[in-house]
Structure 1
Amino acid sequence: MSWIDIGALGDVPVRGARLVKTHAGCIALFRTTETEIFATSNTCAHKGGPLSEGIVHDRKVTCPLHNWVWSLETGEAQGADQGRIATYPVRIEDGRILIDGDAIDRRSAA
């Protein structure tokens, strides 16, 4: 894995989200607890809603357009809904958020 520093953990509020623009498109960062963060596609697989504007709860995000719920861990739709959004490996190191650059590159090649 090739880790890329994409910002400070403090830039993402707890139970909040931030948008990161990459060469492969926009990625949403979600902070679920003081020390837990997830990265997914910013686009809802249902109708293309901006997930970074959704409601973060537990380890899930609810799309602001049609209330579809997505697992931040697996990218799978929850409940009766079906589909998947892309997820990306992230880690926290010395208060910085690092994302797997190789995973971003694979997305742009697809």
Structure 2
Amino acid sequence: MAFVEAGRKVFVANRNELTVGLGKKVEIEGRELALFMQEDGSVRVLDNKCPHKGGPLSEGIVSGNYVYCPLHDWKICMKTGSAQGGDQGNVACFTVKVEGDNIYVFI
């Protein structure tokens, strides 16, 4: 698991900018991140590049706690960043803090 737990808190979006089941791409300090609102209202933030060929995860299909890369359908767990099934690789996950409607990540 590649989980980023420490760092500086950075504002990335307002809660009303996210839709359950759809990703949102944001760029922070030259790094592309993919934001996902879950059905329970929690927010997951990952690097926006699939470990396989760098596909944009923010454009992938979301199913529960997983996002499927739009290029080659790799299944990535949004909780751990790990590729599932027979695929191997990891995507960095970021600690998220929601304060009111503001969403922050630690980078």
- Give TM-score scaled by structure 1 length: 0.86
1:24-63 equivalences under 5 Å are 24-63=30-69
Q: Where in structure 1 are there 5+ consecutive unaligned residues?
A: 105-110
Query: Which digits, 9 at most, give the CA deviation of each residue in 1:24-73, with x for residues without a partner?
Result: 41011011125111000101110111100001111110000100000111
Q: By percentage of residues, which structure has more helix?
A: 1
CA drift at 1:95: 1.3
Contact 1:70/1:78 (8 A) holds in 2: yes
Distance 2:105 2:44 in 1: 9
Deviant stretches of 4+, over 3 Å: none
Aligned length in residues: 101
**Identity level (%):** 37
Q: Which amino acid aligns with 2:103?
A: I
Q: Which structure exhibits the higher relative contact order, with contacts defined as CA atoms closer than 8 Å and separated by 6 or more residues?
A: 2
Of 20, 23, 37, the residue aligned with 1:17 is 23
> Cα RMSD over matched residues?
1.2
